[in-house]
């Protein structure tokens, strides 16, 4: 019996298994990111997206064949919400690059080029089905996409740096490194999943990664706060016992929070449509990985750095209670 209370499970005894699992997942994720890369969406690569509506359901493979025979290469054609709506994504064309180069001189010209491309696609599709009509057409220049990649990377970096400073001030530097290890672990594995399955990576997915950082940190902070509290209560308990007890005391809260969050995300993933499919998928993966990392990665890293009761409770100086006596 531990003086801090009954420990339901010895989590820290499994830290070596968790280390092997995490290392394996990170190696696979990084390997995929290096060899296959991310399937960057229009927000990052630039190009044109056109959504075409039809009166009847259409076969996307036939639409793709029609456009490819009309001279459009490397296009992506998929259903958009229903079988009657088709989303067509085109990589930057030579005309698109010319429009991007002159966008600062004339925004009107850029709009006319976009309209010309959309109308050209529509004319080809009307030969395929006379009911075809365009409901949406978006154009993003490749320069804008490059800037979004840079700004998105900086956003992730600034978020991690801010968390490092906050946890160091709020707790102790060993805790901050444990929290950062868990966050990097979560982001790399989530990005790796997108690379392995080649799910489109756009701005909504980047926003989801930032949300994953916040979610994972919240769970980690709850565990860290309980560890600090139990260090003060259990003077004779070892560091491993304190961490095991702290995880056990917060586990029910973590499981309930993660389960209810996953229910909402599953509903979004299944019924939310293509617009938020990537966002919901990223959060689904991130919540699962984040819950795991809060239990094993953050605490294991902190334990490996040698955290102890003395690091959290300042030593009272001898005679400090007599300083008020003149």
How confident is the model over 230-239, as pLDDT tens digits? Answer: 887 766 778 8
How many residues would you count in the chain? 326
**Cβ pair 256, 237 in contact under 8 A:** no
Least confident of 117-121, 164-168, 302-306, 308-312: 308-312
> Which H/E stretch holds residue 87?
strand 82-90
What's the pLDDT tens digit per position in 55-103?
888 888 888 888 888 888 778 888 777 788 888 888 775 544 444 444 4
Residue 245's nearest CA partner among 262, 228, 257 is 228
- pLDDT for res 207: 87
The chain-wide mean pLDDT, for the chain, equals 80
Q: How far apart are CA 242 and CA 304, in angstroms?
A: 14
What's the pLDDT tens digit per position in 103-158?
444 444 444 566 777 888 888 888 777 888 888 777 766 666 667 778 877 887 88
| Cα-to-chain-centroid distance, residue 234 | 37
Place of tokens 């930057």: 92
Taken in order of first residue, the domains within the chain and their CATH numbers are: 11-40+145-310 (1.20.1640.10), 47-140 (3.30.70.3400)
**Cβ pair 216, 293 in contact under 8 A:** yes
pLDDT band at 288 (very low <50, low <70, confident <90, very high): very high
**Cβ pair 181, 297 in contact under 8 A:** yes
pLDDT band at 215 (very low <50, low <70, confident <90, very high): confident
Q: How far apart are CA 96 and CA 114, in angstroms?
A: 8
Beta strand 39-40 with 200-201 is parallel
Q: How far apart are CA 187 and CA 150, in angstroms?
A: 17
Q: How far apart are CA 237 and CA 225, in angstroms?
A: 17
Choose between 99 and 246: higher pLDDT. 246
pLDDT band at 4 (very low <50, low <70, confident <90, very high): very low
Neighbouring CB atoms inside 10 A of 306's CB total 9
For 234-245, what is the mean pLDDT?
80
Angle at 144 between CA 100 and CA 89, to 5 degrees: 80
DSSP 237-292: --HHHHHHHHHHHHHHHHHHHHHHHHHHHHHHHHHS-GGGHHHHHHHHHHHHHHHH
Burial class (CB within 10 angstroms; exposed 0-12, middle 13-18, buried 19+) of 166 = middle
Q: How far apart are CA 273 and CA 34, in angstroms?
A: 30
Residue 155's nearest CA partner among 93, 109, 199, 208 is 208
**Cβ pair 250, 218 in contact under 8 A:** no
Choose between 7 and 136: higher pLDDT. 136
Least confident of 18-22, 143-147, 211-215: 143-147
Residue 210's nearest CA partner among 267, 140, 162 is 162
- pLDDT for res 2: 45
pTM: 0.77
pLDDT band at 287 (very low <50, low <70, confident <90, very high): very high
């Amino acid at each position: 019996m531990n003086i801090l209370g009954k420990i339901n499970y010895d989590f820290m005894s499994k830290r070596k298994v968790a280390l092997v699992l995490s290392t394996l997942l990170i190696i696979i994720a990084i390997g995929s990111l290096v060899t296959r890369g991310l399937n960057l969406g229009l927000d990052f690569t630039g190009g044109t997206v056109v959504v075409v509506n039809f009166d009847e359901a259409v076969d996307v493979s036939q639409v793709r064949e029609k456009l490819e025979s009309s001279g459009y290469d490397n296009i992506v054609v998929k259903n958009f919400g229903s079988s009657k709506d088709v989303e067509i994504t085109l990589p930057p064309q030579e005309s698109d690059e010319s429009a991007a180069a002159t966008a600062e001189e004339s925004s009107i010209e850029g709009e006319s080029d976009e309209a010309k491309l959309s109308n050209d696609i529509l004319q080809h599709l009307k030969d395929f089905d006379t009911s075809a009509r365009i409901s949406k057409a978006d154009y993003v220049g490749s320069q804008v996409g490059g800037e979004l990649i840079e700004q998105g990377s900086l956003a992730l970096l600034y978020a991690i740096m801010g968390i490092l400073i906050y946890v160091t001030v709020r707790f102790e530097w060993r805790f901050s490194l444990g929290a950062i290890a868990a966050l990097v672990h979560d982001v790399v594995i989530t990005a790796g999943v997108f690379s392995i399955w080649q799910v489109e990576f756009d701005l909504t997915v980047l926003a989801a990664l930032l949300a994953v950082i916040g979610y994972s940190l919240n769970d980690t902070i709850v565990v860290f706060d309980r560890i600090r509290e139990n260090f003060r209560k259990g003077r004779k308990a070892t560091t491993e016992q304190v961490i095991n007890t702290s995880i056990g005391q917060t586990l029910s809260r973590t499981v309930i929070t993660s389960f209810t969050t996953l229910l909402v995300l599953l509903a979004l993933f299944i019924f939310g449509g293509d617009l938020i499919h990537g966002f919901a998928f990223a959060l689904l993966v991130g919540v699962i990985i984040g819950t795991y990392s809060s239990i094993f990665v953050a605490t294991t890293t902190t334990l490996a750095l040698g955290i102890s009761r003395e690091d959290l409770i300042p030593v009272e100086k001898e005679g400090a209670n007599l300083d008020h006596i003149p």
